[in-house]
Chain A
Amino acid sequence: MRLSSSVFNKETSSFIRTNLAQRTVLTLGSGLVSIFDPHRDDMISAFGELTSFQVLPKLHKQMSSDPEGSLILKERPIITSSILNLSKLATYPENTFGRKYVEFLKRNNITPDTRKPVRFIEDQDLAYVMQRYREIHDFTHCILDLKTNMLGEVTVKVFEAIQLDLPMCWLAGMFGMLRLGPKHTQAYLDKYLPWIIQNAKQSKPLINVYFEKHFEKPIDELRQELNLTLLNESESKAEQIRQKEFTENVN
């Protein structure tokens, strides 16, 4: 899974050196453009990078003190469809994480190849942390079983915000919620939000998970290891508790 770190070599064309004046204008500008033209994912990426400077060192430290996290930092795996070998994953047994992941990509019509490269972070280690966060986004969707519609995206963003504390995630989570339709807003506030907050706090930080090594594992086993529950599960658990209370009250 190891790829040369030349991807984060400063000499490659995607890195742009910027000074304070430029970063200030870029932060304001990319923030505004992200709001008014949400299709500009280069702006969303830029905004995320430019606002992350305080949080990334903390994340890097957190990763370094976790065995799996520090392995990720050492090996710097990159996620592309060729590296993952999606066609091979599609042949894995039903219910394995690998198989579920490929199905998830197909169902939502997405590929892991469209992530924008990190452009404005000079420190290579921190740039990699940012890149890794971006690239595991799809794994996060898959493991939480959340669709890539607005509701799913907002929910994932809140999860990421709680786990990673990136300003970009907080902003996207809060503003994203405003764009949900009435039915989804209701579902979000009643079910999704409490469940995802609980999950984010209780689970292992996903930034420390070397997902690529867990493809052969059954997805439920992986979820258990990470201490994650699904929405339906927690719903049915809540339902069981309600039933129990009801019968107790009746008696």
Chain B
Amino acid sequence: MLKISKAFFRQQSNVINLSIRALSTGTNSQEADFGFKKVKYEEKQAKVNEVFNNVAEKYDLMNDAMSFGLHRLWKNQFIQDIEPTPGMRLIDVAGGTGDITFRYLNYLKNLNPGHFDNSRDIVATVCDINENMLNVGKDRSINLGFQDKINWKVGNAENLILEKENTYDVYTIAFGIRNCTNLENVLKEAYRVLKPGGRFMCLEFSRTENPVFKRVYDFYSFQMIPVMGYLIAGDWNSYQYLVESIRMFPSQDEFASLISDCGFRLVSYKNLTNGAVAIHSGFKF
């Protein structure tokens, strides 16, 4: 109980800090959040890399265990909201093990199987800063027979140097943006690489307001998830980081404001599972 209260108070003070930071434009703070810890701005990326190096192998198993399989429903909903049509090119950033991309391709395949199988074009580019995650994804794509339709690239969401502007119809980032050091840079890059008329879609953990759900959720995430991480993946600290990084992320409205500030229009969001997860959407006009 005491631990939850302490975490709650830390969260409240950090919300204030974060609101100020979120509303400022283009300033790189000296420090960055690594969960509840503060680290030097430059160090955050390295620390995040380390986390995902450790978790890559067991990533999918842990997702199922931690969310009791719900992450599959969230991702399905995400793709449903996108409503892909043939010819729409996707860039899936922080796409790691490929969950979003595979769903996107499956959607297109079900829509028009003949067209899908006959087409030789690259449909999706998966970009991730961590090569281990990409390798897991690559292996999975071969099992699914999607390997010819996907480009796998190592890259930094804050600086997609390999991508030209105005290239993609859809930009997705699912459960990735909270690991980035500077959200604005990510959003600006997203804006840059999208074609006019293109859509930015983000699936991410967010804030729950329902007090009953919140208590259960807080207990579960702070107390149990690191334990599960240790039991399943042999790694306590990475999952401790995970639950803390969720609390440090801006609220639904704050994030929507930020997306707007970076040039997107018709910005909206939708809550899933009592706000534990939210889908944010914006267009480049």
Contacts and interface: CB of A to CB of B under 8 A. Distances in A.
Contact of B3 (A16, A19, A33): A19
Interface stretch (A21-29, A89-97, A224-232): A21-29
- Interface of B, secondary structure class, is helix
Given A13-B237, A16-B236, A21 B223 contact: yes
B3 A26 contact: no
B224 interface: yes
B197 interface: no
A22 B230 CA distance: 11
Interface in A1-53: 13, 16, 18-19, 21-22, 25-26, 29-30, 33, 40, 42-43, 46
Interface string A175-206: 00000000000000000000000000000000
Interface residues of A, number: 15
Contacts of B228: 29
Interface residues of B, number: 11
Contacts of B237: 13
Interface of A: 13, 16, 18-19, 21-22, 25-26, 29-30, 33, 40, 42-43, 46
12 contacts: A13-B237, A16-B236, A21-B223, A21-B224, A25-B227, A26-B227, A26-B230, A30-B231, A40-B234, A42-B230, A43-B231, A46-B230
Given A19-B223, A22-B227, A26-B230, 8 more contacts: A16-B236, A25-B231, A29-B227, A29-B231, A33-B231, A40-B234, A42-B230, A46-B230
A46 to B, nearest CB: 7
Contacts of B231: 25-26, 29-30, 33, 43
A147 B223 CA distance: 41
Contact of B234 (A13, A22, A42): A42
A26 B227 CA distance: 6
Nearest to A16: B236
Contacts of A29: 227-228, 231
A100 to B, nearest CB: 34
B109 to A, nearest CB: 36
Interface in B211-269: 223-224, 226-228, 230-231, 234, 236-237
A219 to B, nearest CB: 37
A33 to B, nearest CB: 6
A201 B223 CA distance: 42
Contacts of B234: 40, 42-43
A21 B227 CA distance: 10
A25 B65 CA distance: 14
A102 B223 CA distance: 44
Contacts of B226: 22
Contacts of B223: 19, 21-22
A33 B233 CA distance: 11
Nearest to B1: A19
Contact of B224 (A13, A25, A30, A42): A25
A30 B226 CA distance: 13
A37 to B, nearest CB: 10
